[in-house]
C-alpha cells in the first residue's frame, strides 16, 4: 500500500501497490478524483478529467 | 504511459482508454488469460505524426516509441478523442475495433438514425431540424410528449421527454445560448409507448452474444445503467437477433451495443447503437463472458 496525499485537501490516501495506471482514486474527504500514475516505480496521483459532454458509450 | 503485462509470444493487443473502467480491466484480464500479449494504453499519452503514414508497412510498431501491437481495442470514454485516435491508427494500418466509420456513425445520433433508416431497420420516427424556429414549429405540429436528444452525448444526458410547447421553447432557448454549434442541430424523436424497460443487446461480429432488459431506476424514465437502471437477462429470440444483426450491419459492424424499445403496436424498434459498449451491467446477469468474446473477435480480425 502506497501512501500519497490528496492534492486538494492534503488528506493521506492509501493506494494499493498493485494499482493499475489510470485507475481512479477518490479522496473520501473532499471528493477529488485522481488517476494513479507511476514515476520511476513510485505511485503518484494526477488529477482525473471531469465528465465531458462527449463522454459515454 | 503504458501499463503492460506480457505473458506470451503470441499476437499482441492494445486496449486504448482514457478513463479506466471495469470493462477495460476485464478486457485486459481476459486477453492475458487467453495468452495474448495485452496492454492498457492511456490515450492521453499518445502522440501521432504524419511521418509513419503511407510507408506501406504496419507502422504501429513505432509511434513515439510505443508498440501498439497487432490490433487495438478502442475504449476511450470521450467520443471525439476515441474517434480521432482511431483515424490515426487506421492511417497507420493498425486494425482498430471499432473502425472510424462505425465510431463516427454511432457517436452521432443523427448519422446513426440515418444509417438505420437507410437499411430499413425499424426505428422510432425521428426528425432533424436546423433552426430554432422550425424546431418549435415541428414539435408543435407533431404534438407532445416528444423526445428531444442532443446528437452527441451519452448515458441519457440531456435527453428530455418534452411535455408541452412551453417546455420545448425553454429547451430551444437554452440550446441557442450554448456555444457548441451541435447544440443548434435539433433531433426530435417520437415518444414510444413502451414498458418501463428497454433491451440492450451486444453484437460481436456476426453474433448477438447476449441481451439484457434494462429497467429504469425508480422515478426515472431513462433506462441507462449509468443512471441507476438495473439489468435482467433477456432471451435472444429470432426477431431480436435479426433486428440486432441488421442494425449492426447498418452502422458498419464490429463490437456494438444495440438499444431496442418494445413498442406496444409495432414490436421492436432500434433507437441507438453504441460504439464503445459498456457491459458491466449486462455481465452482472449474463452467463456469457463478454470480454472474452470481444478479445477473441479482435484476434479473429487480425487473422482475417
Which residues is A34 bridged to in the sheet?
Answer: A25, A47
Q: Which residue of B19, B152, B274 is in closest CB contact with A54?
A: B152
Q: Does residue A56 belong to the interface with chain B, where contact is any CB pair within 8 Å?
A: yes
Domain boundary among B190, B221, B245: B190
- Sheet strands (E) in chain A: 2-5, 12-15, 24-26, 33-39, 42-47
Work out the pLDDT band at B200, boundaries 50, 70, 90: very high
Q: Do the Cβ atoms of B155 and A22 come within 8 Å?
A: no
Q: Does residue A9 belong to the interface with chain B, where contact is any CB pair within 8 Å?
A: no
| Boundaries of every domain in chain A | 2-47
ipTM for the whole complex? 0.77
User: Do residues B258 and B118 both lie within one domain?
Assistant: yes
Work out the pLDDT band at B6, boundaries 50, 70, 90: very low
pLDDT of residue B60: 47
Q: Do the Cβ atoms of B77 and A38 come within 8 Å?
A: no
Q: Which residue has the higher pLDDT, B247 or A51?
A: B247
Is the pLDDT at B58 greater than 80? The verdict is no
pLDDT of residue B204: 98
Is the pLDDT at A27 greater than 90? The verdict is yes
Is the pLDDT at B226 greater than 80? The verdict is no
Of B44-48, B96-100, B123-127, B139-143, give the lowest mean pLDDT range: B44-48
Min Cα–Cα distance to chain A from B267, Å: 25
Is B304 within the bounds of a domain?
no
User: Do residues B168 and B281 both lie within one domain?
Assistant: no
Average pLDDT value over all residues in chain B: 91
Work out the pLDDT band at B227, boundaries 50, 70, 90: low
Q: Work out the average pLDDT over B34-54.
A: 89
Min Cα–Cα distance to chain B from A33, Å: 11
Q: Which residue has the higher pLDDT, B189 or B229?
A: B189
pLDDT of residue B10: 76
Per-window interface: B 173-202 vs A, CB < 8 A: 180
Tens-digit pLDDT profile for residues B126-153: 999 999 999 999 999 999 999 999 999 8
User: Do residues B292 and B199 both lie within one domain?
Assistant: yes
> What CATH number does the domain containing B73 carry?
3.40.50.20
Instruction: Domain count for chain B, please give it.
Output: 3
Under CATH, which architecture does the A2-47 domain have?
A: Single Sheet (2.20)
Is B269 within the bounds of a domain?
yes
Of A34-43, B79-88, B158-167, B264-273, give the lowest mean pLDDT range: A34-43
Q: Work out the average pLDDT over A6-16.
A: 92
Q: What percent of chain B has pLDDT over 70?
A: 92
Cell 457517436: give the residue.
B107
User: Do residues B116 and B262 both lie within one domain?
Assistant: yes
Q: Which residue of B20, B25, B276 is in closest CB contact with A57?
A: B276
B43 Cβ contact partners less than 8 Å away, ≥ 6 residues apart? B16, B17, B18, B76, B81, B82, B85
Half-sphere exposure of B223 (CA within 13 A, CB side): 21
User: Do residues B114 and B229 both lie within one domain?
Assistant: yes
B53 Cβ contact partners less than 8 Å away, ≥ 6 residues apart? B59, B91, B92
Q: Work out the average pLDDT over B152-180.
A: 92
User: Do residues B90 and B118 both lie within one domain?
Assistant: no
Work out the pLDDT band at B50, boundaries 50, 70, 90: confident
User: Do residues B276 and B215 both lie within one domain?
Assistant: yes
> What CATH number does the domain containing B241 carry?
3.30.470.20
User: Do residues B88 and B182 both lie within one domain?
Assistant: no
Best mutation target among B19, B109, B181 (most A Cβ atoms within 10 Å) is B19
Bridging pattern class, strands A33-39 and A42-47? antiparallel
Domain housing B38 = 2-97
Q: Work out the average pLDDT over A13-20.
A: 91
pLDDT of residue A18: 87
Is the pLDDT at B98 greater than 70? The verdict is yes
Amino acid at each position: 500500500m502506497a501512501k500519497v496525499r490528496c492534492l486538494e485537501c492534503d488528506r493521506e490516501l492509501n493506494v494499493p501497490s498493485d494499482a493499475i495506471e489510470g485507475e481512479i482514486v477518490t479522496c473520501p474527504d473532499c471528493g477529488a478524483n485522481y488517476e494513479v500514475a507511476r514515476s520511476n516505480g513510485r505511485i503518484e496521483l494526477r488529477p482525473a478529467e471531469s465528465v465531458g459532454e462527449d463522454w459515454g458509450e | 504511459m503504458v501499463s503492460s503485462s506480457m505473458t506470451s509470444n503470441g499476437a499482441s493487443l492494445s486496449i486504448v482508454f482514457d478513463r479506466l473502467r471495469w470493462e477495460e480491466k476485464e478486457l485486459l484480464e481476459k486477453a492475458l488469460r487467453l495468452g495474448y500479449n495485452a496492454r492498457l494504453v492511456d490515450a492521453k499519452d499518445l502522440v501521432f505524426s504524419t511521418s509513419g503514414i503511407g510507408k506501406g508497412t504496419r507502422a504501429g510498431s513505432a509511434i513515439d516509441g510505443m508498440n501498439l501491437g497487432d490490433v487495438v481495442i478502442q475504449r476511450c470514454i470521450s467520443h471525439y478523442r476515441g474517434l480521432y485516435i482511431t483515424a490515426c491508427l487506421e492511417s497507420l494500418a493498425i486494425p482498430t475495433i471499432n473502425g472510424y466509420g462505425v465510431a463516427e456513425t454511432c457517436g452521432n445520433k443523427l448519422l446513426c438514425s440515418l444509417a438505420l433508416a437507410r437499411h430499413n431497420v425499424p426505428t422510432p420516427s425521428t426528425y432533424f431540424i436546423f433552426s430554432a424556429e422550425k424546431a418549435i414549429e415541428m414539435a408543435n405540429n407533431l404534438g407532445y410528449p416528444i423526445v428531444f436528444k442532443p446528437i452527441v452525448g451519452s448515458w441519457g444526458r440531456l435527453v428530455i421527454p418534452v411535455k408541452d410547447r412551453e417546455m420545448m421553447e425553454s429547451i430551444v432557448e437554452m440550446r441557442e445560448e450554448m456555444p457548441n454549434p451541435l447544440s443548434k442541430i435539433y433531433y426530435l424523436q417520437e415518444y414510444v409507448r413502451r414498458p418501463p424497460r428497454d433491451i440492450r443487446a451486444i453484437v460481436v461480429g456476426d453474433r448477438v452474444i447476449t441481451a439484457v432488459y434494462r429497467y429504469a431506476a425508480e422515478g426515472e424514465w431513462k433506462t441507462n445503467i449509468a443512471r441507476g437502471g438495473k439489468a435482467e437477462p433477456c432471451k435472444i429470440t429470432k426477431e431480436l437477433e435479426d433486428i440486432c444483426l441488421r442494425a449492426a450491419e447498418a452502422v458498419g459492424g464490429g463490437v456494438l451495443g444495440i438499444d431496442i424499445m418494445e413498442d406496444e403496436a409495432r414490436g421492436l424498434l432500434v433507437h441507438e447503437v453504441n460504439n464503445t459498449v459498456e457491459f458491466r451491467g449486462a455481465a452482472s446477469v449474463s452467463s456469457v463472458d463478454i470480454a472474452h468474446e470481444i478479445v477473441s473477435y479482435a484476434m479473429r480480425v487480425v487473422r482475417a
